[in-house]
C-alpha cells in the first residue's frame, strides 16, 4: 500500500521527483516518481545501502545488464544513478500493482488463472536464461510480478537484489527464502533455481499456502531436506488433477538435474497437464487427421495416447498406418496383430497387416491377409487394390488385374 516514505518529496539525481512510497522490502524502497523535464511517470527503486568501490562497480554492472533486457514480459529499466552514495534504479511505472496485490496471501487460484500467468513469467525467464552469459533472476515471488497496462505480467527486479544482498543480514530475507531453491542456500544458484521458485509460486497459488514455513534457517533446512506436502491433500487442493501435481513436484525437485530442462518446458508441461483431457475417441480422430495430412509422427503420438487411455481400443492400433509410413514395418505388423487379438473380425486390421507384410516382401502372407479382410468386408475397395498389388508381386498378373477391376468397380481411385 502506498504511503509517505522518508524520501517522499525529495529530488534524486537532479531530475527525478519522488512522490509516495509504493512498497518497501529488505534492501530497497520503491517510490512513484517523475522525470521533472520529460514529465513522465516512473517507478524508482532506492537501495537502503550506500555503495562504494568494487560494490558500486558491481551494482553499475548489474544495472547495465538488466537495462539491456528487452522482452514484453520484463519490466524495463530506463536509468540508474547514485545520489550522495545512494544507488537508485528508474523503471517503467506499472500502475496496476503486483500479483501479490491482486491475489493476497492465502488466495487459491483456479488453473485457468495460474497457467497464463506462469506462461508469461516463464517466457521472460527463458529469454533471460538464453542470454550470454545467462541471467538468473534469483528472486521470483508474487511481489516481483507486476501487472502491465494491458493486463500482461511484467517480471521485475532482475539481478538487482543480488548486487546488494551481501550487505543485508540473511534473516532479513525470510519472505524471499520461502521461494529459494535448495542450491541457493548453498550459494550455488543457476537457471533451474528460477524454475524452483516459480514452482513454489504455483504451489502457493493452487492451495493458498507455500509448502514450507519458518525462519530463515528453518526454511533452508526444509527446502534442502524435506519433500513438499502433497498438493492434492485434503487440506490443500484435492480437486487438482494428479498430472498437475506431478508437474509441480518435478519443478520442486531437490536436485536441479531432476527438474524440467528449462523453465519454458515447465510452463508447457503445466499447460498440458491442466488442459481438459481428451477421450480415446478424440485422440484416435486426431491421429487419423494427422495421418491424412502426412504428419506421421504426430499421428503415431495421438494413436498412442488413445491406447494409453484404453489398451483394448482396437481401432487405435490403426497406428500401424503411421508406422508403415515411417518405414517401421515390423512395428506396424505388431500393431495390427494386436488389433486382431482384440478383434479378430476387424477388416481394417487384416488389410493393415497385409500392407505391413507386403512392405516386408512377404507377399503370400500379405495376400492371405487381404483375402481375410475381403471375407469380412466384400466391399472393401482398398483391400481389393492391395490384393491386386500382392498378386502382381507374385507374378499372377491376370488375377491381379481382376482384383484391380473389382477395386475400381467399388469406387477405388488411384
For residue 192, give Cα distances in angstroms to 181, 211, 261, 347: 8, 18, 8, 52
Q: Which of 29, 83, 101, 139 is catalytic?
A: 139
| 364 neighbors 333 (Cβ within 8 angstroms) | no
21, β-bridge pairs: 3, 31
Note if the bond before 244 is cis, omega within 30 degrees: no
CA–CA gap between residue 408 and residue 189 (Å, rounded): 69
Q: 157 catalytic, yes or no?
A: no
- Neighbour order of strands in the sheet with 77-83: 11-12, 16-24, 28-35, 40-47, 86-91, 77-83
CA–CA gap between residue 168 and residue 339 (Å, rounded): 67
For residue 36, give Cα distances in angstroms to 10, 18, 255, 379: 12, 10, 49, 84
Burial of 376 (0-12, 13-18, 19+ CB in 10 A): middle
For residue 34, give Cα distances in angstroms to 29, 81, 131, 215, 383: 16, 15, 31, 38, 78
| 97 neighbors 118 (Cβ within 8 angstroms) | no
CB within 8 Å of 198: residues ≥ 6 apart: 118, 121, 122, 125, 140, 251, 263, 266
Please state the φ and ψ torsions of residue 185, each to the nearest 5 degrees: -70, -20
CA–CA gap between residue 383 and residue 337 (Å, rounded): 17
CA–CA gap between residue 145 and residue 157 (Å, rounded): 9
| 33 neighbors 41 (Cβ within 8 angstroms) | yes
Question: Cell numbers at residue 230, please?
Answer: 502433497
CA–CA gap between residue 131 and residue 67 (Å, rounded): 13
Annotated catalytic sites, by residue? 139
Amino acid at each position: 500500500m502506498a504511503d509517505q516514505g522518508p524520501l517522499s518529496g525529495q529530488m534524486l539525481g537532479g531530475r527525478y521527483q519522488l512522490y509516495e512510497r509504493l512498497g518497501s522490502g529488505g534492501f530497497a524502497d520503491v517510490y512513484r516518481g517523475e522525470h521533472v523535464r520529460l514529465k513522465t511517470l516512473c517507478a524508482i527503486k532506492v537501495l537502503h545501502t550506500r555503495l562504494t568501490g568494487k560494490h558500486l562497480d558491481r551494482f553499475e554492472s548489474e544495472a547495465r545488464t538488466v537495462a539491456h533486457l528487452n522482452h514484453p514480459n520484463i519490466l524495463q529499466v530506463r536509468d540508474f544513478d547514485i545520489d550522495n552514495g545512494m544507488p537508485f534504479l528508474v523503471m517503467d511505472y506499472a500502475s496496476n500493482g503486483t500479483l501479490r496485490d491482486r491475489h493476497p496471501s492465502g488466495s487459491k487460484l483456479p488453473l485457468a488463472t495460474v497457467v497464463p500467468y506462469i506462461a508469461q513469467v516463464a517466457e521472460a525467464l527463458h529469454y533471460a536464461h538464453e542470454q550470454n552469459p545467462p541471467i538468473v533472476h534469483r528472486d521470483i515471488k508474487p511481489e516481483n510480478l507486476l501487472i502491465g497496462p494491458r493486463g500482461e505480467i511484467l517480471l521485475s527486479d532482475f539481478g538487482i537484489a543480488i548486487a546488494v544482498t551481501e550487505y543485508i543480514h540473511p534473516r532479513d530475507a525470510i519472505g524471499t527464502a520461502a521461494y529459494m531453491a535448495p542450491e541457493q542456500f548453498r550459494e550455488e544458484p543457476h537457471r533451474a533455481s528460477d524454475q524452483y521458485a516459480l514452482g513454489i509460486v504455483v504451489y502457493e497459488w493452487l492451495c493458498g499456502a507455500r509448502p514450507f514455513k519458518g525462519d530463515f534457517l528453518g526454511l533452508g533446512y526444509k527446502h534442502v531436506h524435506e519433500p513438499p506436502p502433497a498438493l492434492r491433500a485434503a487440506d490443500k487442493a484435492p480437486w487438482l488433477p494428479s498430472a498437475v501435481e506431478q508437474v509441480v513436484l518435478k519443478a520442486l525437485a531437490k536436485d536441479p538435474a531432476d527438474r524440467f530442462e528449462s523453465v519454458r518446458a515447465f510452463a508447457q508441461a503445466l499447460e498440458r497437464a491442466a488442459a481438459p483431457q481428451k477421450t480415446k475417441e478424440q485422440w484416435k480422430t486426431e491421429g487419423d487427421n494427422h495421418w491424412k495430412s502426412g504428419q506421421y509422427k504426430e499421428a503415431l503420438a495421438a494413436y498412442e495416447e488413445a491406447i494409453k487411455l484404453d489398451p483394448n481400443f482396437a481401432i487405435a492400433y490403426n497406428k500401424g498406418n503411421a508406422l508403415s509410413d515411417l518405414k517401421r514395418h515390423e512395428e506396424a505388423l505388431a500393431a495390427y496383430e494386436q488389433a486382431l487379438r482384440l478383434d479378430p473380425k476387424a477388416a481394417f486390421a487384416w488389410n493393415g497387416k497385409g500392407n505391413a507384410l507386403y512392405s516386408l516382401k512377404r507377399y503370400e502372407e500379405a495376400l492371405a491377409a487381404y483375402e481375410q479382410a475381403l471375407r469380412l468386408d466384400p466391399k472393401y475397395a482398398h483391400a481389393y487394390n492391395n490384393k491386386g498389388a500382392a498378386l502382381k508381386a507374385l507374378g499372377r498378373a491376370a488375377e491381379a488385374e481382376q482384383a484391380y477391376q473389382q477395386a475400381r468397380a467399388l469406387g477405388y481411385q488411384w
